Amino acid sequence: MTRVEGKVALVTGGASGIGLSSARLLAREGAKVVIGDYNLDGAKEAAKEIEKSGGTASAIFLDASIEESIKEAIEYTVKMYGKIDVLFNNVGLTNLQKDLDVVNIDLDEWDRLIDVNAKSVLLGSRYAIPYMKEAGGGSIINTTSMAGFASDAIRTAYGASKAAVVSLTSYIATQYGKDGIRCNAVAPGLILTPAAKNNLPKEVQEIFLKFNALPYNGEPDDIGYTVLFLASDESKYITGQTIKVEGGHYIANPSIEDFNEFMKKA
């Protein structure tokens, strides 16, 4: 239970889903964790639960669309626990009503999603890096998405913003590697967070399942354990990478079924 003993981590969007799983696992393995979320009640609840099970955690309001709010959360983390070793830039969202195809997408929504999903990663890193530099290093972890690699009929801004996160990840790694700062990303496929479970009809979950190489869909801890690894010194020679955690959903040639049919006839 000591994989990140003594480290201090800020998890954005830590009140739910992937962020919550990561915050719990980081705390269980010895990190002091700050949970930043615009759902402050949820963040407080998560911190309370972690403390109850013997970990160290606190909560702060963080709105990832506001620069000052991100800066405050970083400063709060350093003030509270003396440093910041791990920054998990995890907030991200889409809007199925407005984030449409290129012709129909709402342009204000494009700006908002690029801000919340990509610019927040730049800003979090911008304010954490000076503290990490001073301390001799750190680990920045970003949540991107398989939507940054594989395109969709809608969610144009979501995909573009998540592709930007992949790129930012390697830029940060390149620019601050010599300061001992690593930067990596995790790209989830479908992860059955409470929100995904509630919002995605069973049929859609089954479509995902059908195309996974593995016989199950992902759970928040599948990402949480990857984040834990990237936060720990176990991954000390890994930087600039995006780890795809997606059940093998995207690995096969999409035309494989048609080829199989062809081979049967040949």
Ligand X SMILES: NC(=O)c1ccc[n+]([C@@H]2O[C@H](COP(=O)([O-])OP(=O)(O)OC[C@H]3O[C@@H](n4cnc5c(N)ncnc54)[C@H](O)[C@@H]3O)[C@@H](O)[C@H]2O)c1
- Residue reference for tokens 């395109």: 151
Closest to 192 in 3D by CA, of 211, 178, 180, 206: 206
145 is a site residue for ligand X (CB under 6 A): yes
87 is a site residue for ligand X (CB under 6 A): no
Six-digit token pair at 112?
A: 């908002």
Contact region with ligand X (CB under 6 A), list: 2-10, 38-46, 202-210, 237-245: 38-46
37 is a site residue for ligand X (CB under 6 A): yes
95 is a site residue for ligand X (CB under 6 A): no
- Residue among 138 and 188 whose Cβ is closer to ligand X: 188
Instruction: Output the CA–CA distances (angstroms, integers) from residue 117 to 12, 114, 144, in the order listed.
Output: 11, 5, 8
- Least distance CB 26 / ligand X (angstroms): 15
Using CB under 6 A, pick the residue from 10, 18, 74, 185 that binds ligand X.
Answer: 18
Contact region with ligand X (CB under 6 A), list: 71-79, 85-93, 207-215, 233-241: 85-93
Contact region with ligand X (CB under 6 A), list: 16-24, 48-56, 103-111, 249-257: 16-24
Using CB under 6 A, pick the residue from 191, 227, 231, 243 that binds ligand X.
Answer: 191
> Rounded to 10 degrees, what is the CA torsion of 152, 194, 120, 142?
-80
121 is a site residue for ligand X (CB under 6 A): no
Six-digit token pair at 226?
A: 């990857």
17 is a site residue for ligand X (CB under 6 A): yes
99 is a site residue for ligand X (CB under 6 A): no
User: How many residues belong to the chain?
Assistant: 266
Contact region with ligand X (CB under 6 A), list: 25-33, 129-137, 168-176, 183-191: 183-191
Using CB under 6 A, pick the residue from 22, 58, 77, 90 that binds ligand X.
Answer: 90
User: In the β-sheet with 86-89, what is the strand arrangement from edge to edge?
Assistant: 56-61, 32-37, 8-12, 86-89, 138-143, 181-188, 242-245
Instruction: Output the CA–CA distances (angstroms, integers) from residue 68 to 73, 124, 127, in the order listed.
Output: 9, 10, 10
Q: Cα separation of 255 and 75, whole Å?
A: 50
Tell me if 25 sits within 8 A of 228, measured CB to CB: yes
- Give catalytic residues, as residue numbers: 158
Q: Which residues in this chain contact ligand X in the complex, by CB under 6 A?
A: 13, 15-19, 37-39, 42, 62-65, 90-93, 116, 143, 145, 188, 190-191, 193, 195-196
